[in-house]
Amino acid sequence: MPTLTMNQNLLAIGSGFFIGVLLSLAGGGGSALAIPVMMYVIGVKNPRIAMGTTIVAIALTALVGAVPHTIRKSIKWSTALSFTMPALVGLTAGRNVATYLPQHLALVLLGCLMLFNASIMISIPVRRQQTNPGPRQTSSAIMPLGFLVGIMAGIFGIGGGFLVLPTMVITGVPLAAAVGSSLVSVGSLGLANAIPYALRNNIDWRIVAEYVAAGALASASLAKWAPRLTRGRKLIKMLAVILVLASLYMIGINVHDLYT
């Protein structure tokens, strides 16, 4: 691995704290920003190392961030398991598709998926967030969607976090429960998706350590205020706007690289 400069180390710590804040407040919804941040802010040039490092860092940060939600009993475990188990199956199928995609094309498609996801997040009606369906209704709706998200996570080599949160909200899971439940799913999917990257030595463990430490600090700092901040739709709209900006930048950069 190349030597990290002092600025890169500081940027990694700052970025880890920022992503930790997003994960604490929006479940997995902030994890899509971690790949653009890893490549264009911290400066990890190799897309495979950027993805591998991001997956591990986000997965571990998500699991750490799930601890306060577990203590507050705001995680809906039946939903988390109903989503995660089929998603892990879909992950394997997605990996097979990913072998045929060039790196820059995969990043362009990921940016397009981020745009689509942002449009869904903005258009979710408030009444859908306030419903509280029974366990059978939620499980029957969320299992096939979990499988599809797992396929996407396998194709793009991510933890699927920015897809998990809106998927849970769309199926009627209250936002507060969806945030904590998505962290469990993101952590599980991320660790499973990180295995091929670890075997190929495509993970920068120094950045992972800085990310997770800063993310844990963010989670601890926000543990008291997170329940209040996750109420309503303003947070989802803010995250959607950030996703749009990050995706447009990533698409522009990688479309250029496809033809150079």
Total domains in the fold of the chain: 1
Look at residue 126 and tell me whether its pLDDT is greater than 60.
Answer: no
In a domain, 68, yes or no: yes
Task: Identify whether 119 is part of a domain.
Answer: yes
Distance CA 126, CA 241 (A): 18
pLDDT at 223: 61
Lowest mean pLDDT among 17-21, 36-40, 171-175, 256-260: 256-260
Sequence-ordered list of residues with C-beta below 8 angstroms from that of 54, at least 6 positions apart, any chain: 31, 34, 35, 38, 158
pLDDT tens digits for 168-223?
877 777 777 877 888 888 889 889 888 888 999 999 999 999 988 998 888 777 76
Among residues 41, 91, 32, which one has the least CA distance to residue 62? 32
| Confidence (pLDDT) at 92 | 87
Q: Rounded to 5 degrees, what are φ and ψ at 106?
A: -60, -40
Q: Print the domain residue range for 115.
A: 6-258
pTM: 0.75
pLDDT band at 167 (very low <50, low <70, confident <90, very high): confident
Give me the chain's average pLDDT, please.
79
Residue 1 lies in a domain: no
Residue 245 lies in a domain: yes
Q: What is the pLDDT of residue 32?
A: 65
